[in-house]
A and B are shown apart, each in its own frame.
Chain A
Amino acid sequence: MKIIDLLEQTFLSLLSNKARSGLTILGIVIGIGSVITMVSIGQGASGTITSSIESLGSNLLMVSPGMARGVGQQVSAGRGGAQTLTLADANAIADQIYGVQAVAPQYSTRAQVTAKGANTNTSIYGVTEPYAAVRNVEIQSGSFITQAHNGSKAKVAVLGPAVVEDLFGEDADPIGQTIRFNNMDFRIVGVTVSKGGSGMNNVDDVIYIPLATAQQYISGDDKVGMINVQGESQKLLDQMEIDITALLLERHKIADETLADFQIMNQADIAASASSIAGTLTILLASIAGISLLVGGIGIMNMMLTTVTERTREIGLRKAVGAKKGDITIQFLAEAVTLTFLGGIAGVALGWIASLLVRHFGNTATQISPVSVLLAFGVSAAIGIIFGYYPAWRAAKLNPINALRYE
């Protein structure tokens, strides 16, 4: 039998039962569509997480204060609750640890900031010059906090784009203007490039000021909130983590490592755990959608079995006029695969539209990868073959004598 005849027969017999074919295809459309949508949501989330971790900087160790524990007390104030790290700790790390590229201590607080009648509540980071390089902060206009600003304890500020928008409006150039918080005026010297992000941890909603200024006028001591340490390479990070732990334990005079008053986070560990969370999310979503695809496949099998029963006499006749088992098998397989293939095309379109709608109205990043589209096609064709094979096999093994007399 020729391919063209096979295709013609397939379409004629599918068209002869439009409603049933349509409903069966619908099952596959929903299955494939939901797989595409769910995977795009999962991959979008994973992409968001990955890019926000990458935006932190590369080869990064973050040393932050640990639990505060008074002498002889068992009450813990919670992680980060203590102010145990000092500028001297940061300098010691820079001087004594092998493999350090740069050290950027930071002091963090929040303040109500005003400028020309507008006001907002935002994060204030006291930083030094290396911070920009260590944490991947890029400058859009003006300059970042410099060594000189720190040396002179200058009242200057670098604004994140979200702060600029909140205080000065979109597309405004605030360089040279002043903002006010903690009863002090700060001159704006730079604006950073937007990194994207939203909600509580918006890295654009930040004001950077010199660390020395913050310590002098805001905190009044030499404590720092966090020490960002950039290693020379990824490979050195694990050893650096061990060395910094030993150094700080010694400096803080703590013998038992379990009582350490600081903690170190390795960026690679964060990235790995976050991407494994995102991967799990994607798998979870995909398997929920996969169930509907499976149900769609069973729908195909159900329809094909019904069709085989209905067309028993036709199968008998075809065998009587010379159709081989293979001819019958391929005919019914072709019908099943055509159904799933059509369903696959419509399903990809539906999934695409759905994920665009999710992006637009759900405010969630979605990412349609060509791989998931190809995979969906492959899966739908495979479903056609798998779920179509049994009915086709049943048709092919029908005894022509019985099939011809089937009522």
Chain B
Amino acid sequence: MIQCKDIVKIYKTGEIETTILKSVSFQVKEGEFVAIIGPSGSGKSTLMNILGTLDVPTSGDYFLDGKNVAKYSDDELADIRKNKIGFVFQSFNLLPRATALRNVCLPLVYAGLDRNEREERGKEALSRAGLGAEHYHHYTNQLSGGQMQRVAIARALVNRPSIILADEPTGNLDTKTGEIVMETFQELNFQQGHTIVLITHERDIAEYADRIITVRDGSIVEDRKNTRKKIGIAGVDDRQKI
């Protein structure tokens, strides 16, 4: 599914070269829920950008569904993002002055789907992300933080991606709402089988995943299985993985 081999990322600012990632290698299998954790400046955001094909590594290979996308052009990467990756951002990044449904359907516009098909799939994604149907036609600035993040999650789901990348998805939410959002991710993983890579600097949040990769100073220092944090909804962690 995801295979990173000796990924190196060096930023050049004038004469000064800064090595952000020093030979990072790991794999994520289909259906995994992986948290990448590390302090700020560890290189986890850069790693997330490379995994999301928003950026390309300086050297090394990145296989996504068997294809090495490390050397793809901008437009080819855009196609990869369109078809294989769903993003959830810390600050939601929803379009203001647009309804929840319209926001969710945005990726499908670039996929060239008809309006009817878009709305059908948008509604399906919103219900999977757990947003009440009464909010579908609300403008996003009328929604609460938790609801906005559900819309963002639905947007990440709508193109049926191979992998969902969540960058500090609880960073702008209070603890209670953050827990609900993390439970949503667990449901998406356990019940619906989505592959999720979560980037965070909070150990509490990383505990929701079933594997935790710790990054420090551009290298992976720990990669361990995690007994996932018991989630609030009774019985959910007992459900079979799909």
Contact = CB atoms under 8 A, between A and B. Distances in A.
Contact of A322 (B82, B93, B95, B97): B82
B43 interface: no
Nearest to A320: B87
Interface residues of A, number: 24
Nearest to A319: B78
B81 A320 contact: yes
A16 B54 CA distance: 29
B49 A324 contact: no
A2 B112 contact: yes
B112 A318 contact: no
Contacts of A322: 78-79, 81-83, 107, 110-111, 159
Given A401-B54, A401-B55, A321 B112 contact: no
A5 B105 CA distance: 11
Interface string A317-341: 1111111111100000000000000
B52 interface: yes
Contact of B81 (A9, A16, A321, A401): A321
B109 interface: yes
B28 interface: no
Contacts of B95: 314, 317
B75 interface: yes
A319 B82 CA distance: 9
A321 B74 contact: no
A5 B108 CA distance: 11
Contact of B52 (A314, A320, A323): A320
B31 to A, nearest CB: 23
B75 A324 contact: yes
Interface in A1-60: 1-2, 4-5, 9, 12, 16
Contacts of A5: 109, 115
Contacts of A2: 109, 112
**Which residue, of A4, A317, A318, A322, has the highest number of chain B Cβ atoms within 10 A?**
A322
6 closest A-B pairs by CB: A322-B82, A321-B107, A324-B78, A322-B110, A317-B93, A324-B75
Interface of A: 1-2, 4-5, 9, 12, 16, 313-314, 316-327, 400-401, 404
Given A321-B110, A322-B83, 7 more contacts: A314-B95, A318-B106, A320-B81, A320-B87, A320-B93, A323-B110, A404-B54
